[in-house]
A = this chain, B = another copy of it.
């Protein structure tokens, strides 16, 4: 994989220039994408900034995020060839930092569940996950060192875990969603994919303009208190995923963490069960034009989801929002006892199918809570597995620090 930190180090040292770094990405794209299909469109002659903290960093941009120089097609024939006027706020920010939004990456239609044509770079018979399929696959295949995704249920953490890359879904609205096609405004969160925890920490620090997030990951947190959480309300994971979680917990302990089993109390399981109501009630509104005028062009699962959502009433939505609000308060108190929660990134390895993007059941609660989530690849044989580190709302730095500690402990 291309590492953002390594590329920046070489550029700062003068052994690589920004144009050379972009050429590395272009060469990898030419070599790898024909077999993977992560890319929807590509800037054939991008302007390459000679300076800036992210100069030379090629970025993959999920194709529900507006770009002024490339179409934004939402993974849907309804938006075939659609050219937005402006860059999304996050894309404008990347350009201001010197980065090159080089490719638009595949997305499930409107970031829903229906699969894309992208395959898992580790095995083309398996899904890369979704909805940010192309962004996860492009980073995993070494095409770009940084990619943008969005998560409404588990669309950043799950594909990252399936493809064996690091990713962060930051605290809700740490990164701007202006110019990102909305599925659910209370949930949609822009996230980052990178080769490792250092890469996403440094990327997030620069993009969010919060220097404190660029942690010195070589300095481990002092004996962090970690709650090991199976999210039993979300049903059992596969044995492989459970084994990876246990391994990560033991590695963290060996590195000095205090790991305690954590069963999430009421009203957190109840809030988890409310996620779909909030998501679907808002999606019905956000995609009302598409539903009213282009129902036949909606992908099968999304069409059925919106059909069902027409029956939701405001009282159900209001009750679900109150449930989520109560759960956020309880979770905040829980983080008085724990620095981080360690849990599953996905129920297992990437399914052996291109007809599904997998299951977000271990991700939904955290998206609804708005808390930062980081997935750490767990080294091993076969298709990748990841574990998920969750921290208190607004404390993205702690999620990254604990994730970095676990990444290092697993490598040891």
Binding site for B on A (CB under 8 A): 68, 79, 82, 85-87, 89, 91-93, 95-96, 173, 176-179, 182, 185-186, 208-210, 282, 285-286, 288-290, 292-293, 313-314, 318, 394
* Sample of 29 A–B contacts (CB below 8 Å): A68-B289, A68-B293, A82-B85, A86-B289, A86-B290, A87-B288, A89-B285, A89-B286, A89-B289, A91-B289, A92-B285, A92-B288, A92-B289, A92-B292, A93-B288, A95-B292, A96-B292, A173-B185, A176-B185, A176-B282, A176-B285, A178-B185, A178-B285, A178-B286, A179-B289, A208-B314, A209-B313, A209-B314, A210-B314
Note all chain B residues with C-beta closer than 8 A to A209.
313-314
Distance between Cα atoms of A68 and B79 in the complex (Å): 13
Q: In the complex this chain forms, how many copies of it are found?
A: 2
Distance between Cα atoms of A318 and B286 in the complex (Å): 28
Distance between Cα atoms of A35 and B227 in the complex (Å): 67
Note all chain B residues with C-beta closer than 8 A to A289.
68, 86-87, 89, 91-92, 179
Q: Which 5 A-B pairs have the closest CB atoms?
A: A92-B288, A86-B289, A87-B289, A89-B285, A178-B182
Note all chain B residues with C-beta closer than 8 A to A282.
176
Note all chain B residues with C-beta closer than 8 A to A176.
185, 282, 285-286
Nearest Cβ in chain B — how far from A316, in angstroms?
A: 11
Distance between Cα atoms of A202 and B379 in the complex (Å): 59
- Whether A288 contacts B96 by the Cβ 8 Å rule is yes
Nearest opposing residue in chain B for A293, CB measure? B68
